[in-house]
Amino acid sequence: MPLVLGVDSSTQSTKVEVRDADTGAVVAEGRAPHPPTTPPRSEQDPRAWWEALGRALAAAGEHADLRAVAAVAVAAQQHGLVVLDAHGEVVRPAKLWNDTESAADAAWLIGRLGGPDAWAGACGTVPVAALTITKLSWLHRSEPDAWARLARVCLPHDWLTYRLTGEHVTDRGDASGTGWFSPAEGRYRLDLLAIVDAGADWEPRLPRVLAPEAVAGITHLTGGPALVAPGTGDNMAAALGVALAPGDVAVSIGTSGTVFAVSDRPTADATGAVAGFADATGRHLPLVCTLNATKVTDAVARLLGVDHARLDALALDAEPGARGLVLVPYLDGERVPDRPDATGTLTGIRADVTRADLARAAFEGVVCGLLDGLDALAAAGVPTGGRLVLLGGGARSGAYRQVLADCSARPVVVPAGAEHVAAGACVQAAAVLHGRPVAEVAAAWAPRAATVVEPRRCDASGLRARFRAVAHG
């Protein structure tokens, strides 16, 4: 029985899934942690990802013969900057998506091209500190010795694919999060990179962009040989893992929060709220990202001295609206809205405040910020009337499920399974192995079971208006 391996290299850990290449049935899983990071400087040594992959594979290998793996695909956290020298060695730790030290570079880049409209038209996305091009500008400005050694630029998934195959390649989905690739034109915009360094010869430093079903190379990591698929970014893989269709909207709640939808057309949002990404099938994946999601509820659980289960119970016991208590969750700066130096705000507190009020306000603050993102997608012309699908670690929380349903006044679909990014990577690997379109395999392997959470009666519009008044007023 041929198997496929899907890798999810996230901020916090590496997860792997091994699946039957024909049916998509899960055969084995494994996981290993990454070193912790703390914004504003959020960095990791890429070699820690490789070591974590080895440990995760060892765990999976206890339940499956990995020599039967015939194809592999890597999905990973977007935007991280990995710089290699002429020998393919890592020059410095990777600056991750949630590193905000390049906020000044984002503002500088926007001004150099002529404003947000120019950037949205050029690559579909207005630079913020998360985007890779701002981190590249930071490196050029701050570390001339490291810059002098730069021979190749990678994203996290590109680097892992490079370690597997020796090939410097990427896919259009992950490339679209750099700030120098145009999804609408399907090409690198070297003129944007020239703003960072006009004297650099950029083309040989960039990975080749592969088509969705192309073969990146061969690996023997699992005992092989095994084909290696192009890989992609984590959000693009999650869309594959749940077979997101045009009109559906995914809300992914993890360390960060994302709201994204599949679209047949590219977007160019000059407000900067919507990133005009590509997906892993040849279509587009407009996306809104917030920096603060489960870290907010983690912090409130720590303050209250409770575990996650108890925090969920407290929030579910509270009234929708938390009796007027509003928590604006910008604890470590924010990406949307673009406030890299922001901190959190708690308002509406009264003498009779309860632990349940605070717990509920924490969940509502995260969710209301994400629903602002849903509004931004709709304003950018993205169809959003299909399923509202909840993904990520937050999908395991009964409070996040119910609060999202309550605040959106829409049913929330929670697909079966937990590792949707790794599942999407398996989908891509199977598509490459069998020579089938990625979207076709995703539809065939879509989770058949799901939990649907219905909204409770509450003043959702009033609750969200109160949040917006505090967060944006």
pLDDT digits (tens, 9 = 90+) for 210-260: 999 999 999 999 998 999 999 999 999 999 999 999 999 999 998 889 999
Residue 135 has pLDDT above 90, yes or no: yes
The H or E element spanning position 140 is: helix 132-142
Q: Cis link prior to 337 (omega < 30° from 0)?
A: yes
Q: What's the pLDDT at 311?
A: 98
In sequence order, what DSSP letters do the residues of 397-420 get, joined into one string? -HHHHHHHHHHHTS-EEEES-S-H
pLDDT confidence of residue 369: 97
Please, is 383 exposed, middle or buried when counting C-beta atoms within 10 Å of its C-beta (0-12, 13-18, 19+)? middle
User: Which one from 158, 171, 174, 234 is the annotated catalytic residue?
Assistant: 234
Residue of 299, 302, 350, 298 lying closest to 322 (CA atoms):
350
Fold of 3-233: Nucleotidyltransferase; domain 5 (3.30.420)
Active site residue 234: yes
**Per-residue model confidence as pLDDT tens digits over 148-162:** 999 999 999 999 999
What is the tens place of the pLDDT at every residue in 52-78? 999 999 999 999 999 999 999 999 999
The token duo for 246 is 């045009």
Helix or strand run (H / E) with residue 444: helix 438-444
Query: Where do the domains of the chain lie?
Result: 3-233
- Is the pLDDT score of 38 beyond 90? no
DSSP designation for 23: T
State the pLDDT at residue 473: 80
d(CA 337, CA 342): 10
CA distance 31 to 183: 32
Between β-strands 284-290 and 257-261, what pairing exists: parallel, antiparallel or unpaired?
antiparallel
> Cβ atoms within 10 A of the Cβ of 65, count?
14
> What's the mean pLDDT in 107-135?
97
The per-residue pLDDT for range 294-325, each reduced to its tens digit, is 999 999 999 999 999 999 999 999 999 999 99
Name the strand (E) or helix (H) holding 30.
strand 26-33
**pTM: predicted TM-score of the whole model, two decimal places:** 0.93
User: 316 and 457 in contact (C-beta within 8 Å)?
Assistant: no
Q: Once rounded to an integer, what is the mean pLDDT over residues 101-121?
A: 97
Q: What is the pLDDT of residue 286?
A: 98
User: 179 versus 37: which is more confidently predicted?
Assistant: 179
End-to-end CA distance of the chain: 59
Contact (Cβ atoms closer than 8 angstroms) between residue 409 and residue 369? no
Q: What is the pLDDT of residue 396?
A: 95
The pLDDT of residue 46: 98
What's the Cα-to-Cα distance from 168 to each of 91, 146, 361, rounded to whole Å? 16, 20, 46
